């Protein structure tokens, strides 16, 4: 594989399908000096899914929605992993009211931006089949771990077995989060994406949820007995929040574009 | 301004007729003396297409020509008028005659 072809393969698929051959020729002719500019272009395209070639404005909005859901999933995963992995943090904020408020805001935001299935029996059936197919594996894996714990895994269980169950649990959560995002991306014309106003409102609510979680975790890290893990988790969530700005920018323009 | 510098250049060269990506950059090189980087060129094309200013046509080979739409032509005319006005005022303020 030539370097030009390898670089083109890093672009999103929809972009490659339309511009791939032209882009490959351009990179080939321009030589290695064009590689940094190409890499910046690749990052630019991944950060702006609404710009990828699309058949309709609705398809662009669905991609923007998928990005909002993906950023939310990442924020949730970071926050959940931090709280679960650090026992002090778990004791401090695990089921606290501010964390519950953050979760409530996140769920409200997701409900606001959720693409709606077309109101037909066939459309609903396809949606249910797609959700079931995507989430069956992580759900089964997660349920197996919960069942194993209830059936007697405790501190006397051999360490490798406990480590295996822990790995299965986190794999189930990570795969579940990724597949949830892919469900949205895969549905295409089978669903109606949110209108820009609803998407914008939902995104602001999601930002509120992520910020609430970050502030709650950050408050723990700023106590006299400083907790570096808590600080790291809060910093990671805060670093992800600007990505919601890209969603707001994409849904705030008449044609869903920027620049 | 609805478009940035790279997009203006692409629109300018497409005003003369449909071109495919490599030919667009060659025309830009003839116009300005420099080629756009691949990331900048195709980023500009993606943005212009999303705005409905350009559309791609079915090509004979692997490469697909791009052409300016009516909306793109109107947007380019508007941008160039604004730029010409800015250039006139700037040159007048510098005491130089407009080109």
Chain B residues with CB under 8 Å of A44 CB are: 39, 43
A165 — pLDDT class (breaks 50, 70, 90): confident
Residue A224 has pLDDT above 80, yes or no: no
Residues above pLDDT 90, as percent of chain A: 37
What DSSP state is assigned to residue A223?
A: S
**Surface-to-core class of residue A15, CB atoms within 10 Å of its CB (0-12 exposed, 13-18 middle, 19+ buried):** buried
Structural element, H or E, at residue A116: strand A116-117
Q: What pLDDT does B69 receive?
A: 95
Mean pLDDT of A243-249: 90
Structural element, H or E, at residue A198: helix A196-221
What DSSP state is assigned to residue A194?
A: P
Alpha-carbon gap: B95 to the closest alpha carbon of chain A (Å): 33
A70 — pLDDT class (breaks 50, 70, 90): very high
Q: Which ipTM was obtained for this model?
A: 0.84
Structural element, H or E, at residue A117: strand A116-117
Q: What pLDDT does A249 receive?
A: 87
Residue A252 has pLDDT above 80, yes or no: no
Q: What pLDDT does B43 receive?
A: 94
- Note whether A22 contacts B20, CB cutoff 8 Å: yes
What is the C-alpha separation between B54 and B46, in angstroms, rounded?
Answer: 9
Q: What pLDDT does A57 receive?
A: 84
Of A192, A242, A230, the closest CA to residue A56 belongs to A192
Of B80, B76, B99, B79, the closest CA to residue B88 belongs to B99
Beta-carbon contacts of A201 under 8 Å, excluding residues fewer than 6 positions away, are A112
Q: What pLDDT does A205 receive?
A: 96
A105 — pLDDT class (breaks 50, 70, 90): very high
What is the C-alpha separation between A2 and A29, in angstroms, rounded?
Answer: 12
Nearest to A37 among B37, B49, B56 (CB): B37
- Note whether A26 contacts B51, CB cutoff 8 Å: no
User: Model pTM?
Assistant: 0.77
**Surface-to-core class of residue B2, CB atoms within 10 Å of its CB (0-12 exposed, 13-18 middle, 19+ buried):** middle
Q: What pLDDT does A22 receive?
A: 87
The better pLDDT of the pair A153, A128 is held by A128
Residue A246 has pLDDT above 70, yes or no: yes
Nearest to B46 among A38, A45, A256 (CB): A45
Distances (CA, A) of A118 to A67, A109, A129, A187: 21, 21, 14, 11
pLDDT by residue (tens digit) across A183-219?
A: 887 777 778 889 989 999 999 999 999 999 999 988 8
Of A183, A201, A230, the closest CA to residue A70 belongs to A183
3-state secondary structure of B54: strand
DSSP string computed for A129-178: HHHHHHHHHHHHHHHHHHHHHHTT--TTS-HHHHHHHHHHHHHHHHHHHH
Q: What pLDDT does A258 receive?
A: 44
Q: What is the pLDDT along chain B (99 residues), one digit of tens a residue?
A: 556 689 999 999 999 999 988 899 999 999 999 899 999 999 999 999 999 999 988 766 667 899 999 999 999 999 999 999 999 999 999 987 666
Beta-carbon contacts of B51 under 8 Å, excluding residues fewer than 6 positions away, are A255, A257, B2, B3, B71, B72, B75
Distances (CA, A) of A203 to A45, A136, B41: 20, 28, 31
Residue pair A194/A115 in contact by the 8 Å Cβ criterion: yes
Q: What pLDDT does B60 receive?
A: 65
Q: What pLDDT does A256 receive?
A: 41
pLDDT by residue (tens digit) across A9-39?
A: 999 988 998 888 889 989 998 889 999 999 9
Mean pLDDT of A49-70: 88
With an 8 Å Cβ cutoff, the interface of chain B facing chain A consists of 3-4, 7, 20-22, 25, 35, 37-43, 45-47, 49-52, 56, 61-64
Residue pair A30/B37 in contact by the 8 Å Cβ criterion: yes
């Amino acid at each position: 594989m030539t370097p030009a072809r390898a670089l083109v393969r890093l672009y999103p698929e929809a972009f490659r399908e339309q511009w791939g051959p032209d882009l490959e020729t351009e990179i080939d002719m321009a030589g290695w000096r064009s590689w940094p500019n190409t890499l910046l272009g690749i990052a630019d395209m991944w950060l702006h899914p609404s710009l990828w070639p699309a058949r309709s404005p609705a398809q662009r909005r669905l991609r923007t929605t998928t990005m909002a859901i993906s950023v939310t999933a990442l924020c949730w995963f970071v926050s959940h992993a931090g709280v679960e992995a650090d026992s002090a943090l778990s004791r401090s904020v695990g089921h606290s009211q501010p964390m519950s408020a953050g979760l409530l805001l996140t769920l409200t935001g997701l409900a606001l931006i959720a693409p709606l299935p077309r109101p037909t029996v066939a459309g609903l059936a396809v949606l249910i089949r797609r959700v079931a197919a995507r989430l069956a594996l992580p759900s089964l894996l997660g349920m197996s771990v919960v069942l194993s714990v209830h059936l007697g895994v405790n501190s006397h269980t051999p360490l490798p077995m406990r480590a295996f169950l822990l790995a299965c649990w986190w794999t189930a959560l990570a795969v579940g989060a990724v597949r949830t995002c892919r469900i949205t991306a895969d549905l295409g014309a089978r669903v109606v994406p949110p209108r820009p106003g609803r998407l914008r409102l939902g995104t602001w609510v999601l930002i509120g949820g992520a910020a609430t979680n970050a502030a709650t975790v950050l408050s723990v890290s700023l106590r006299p007995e400083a907790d570096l893990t808590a600080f790291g988790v809060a910093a990671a969530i805060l670093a992800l929040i600007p990505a919601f700005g890209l969603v707001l920018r994409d849904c705030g323009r008449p044609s869903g574009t920027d620049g | 301004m609805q478009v940035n510098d790279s997009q203006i250049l692409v629109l300018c060269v497409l005003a003369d007729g449909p071109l495919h990506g490599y030919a667009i950059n060659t025309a830009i090189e003839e116009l300005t003396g420099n080629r756009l980087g691949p990331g900048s060129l195709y980023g500009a094309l993606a943005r212009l297409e999303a705005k409905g200013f350009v559309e791609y046509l079915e090509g004979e080979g692997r490469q697909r020509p791009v052409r300016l739409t009516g909306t793109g032509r109107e947007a380019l005319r508007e941008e160039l008028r604004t730029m010409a006005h800015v250039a006139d005022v700037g040159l007048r303020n510098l005491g130089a005659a407009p080109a």
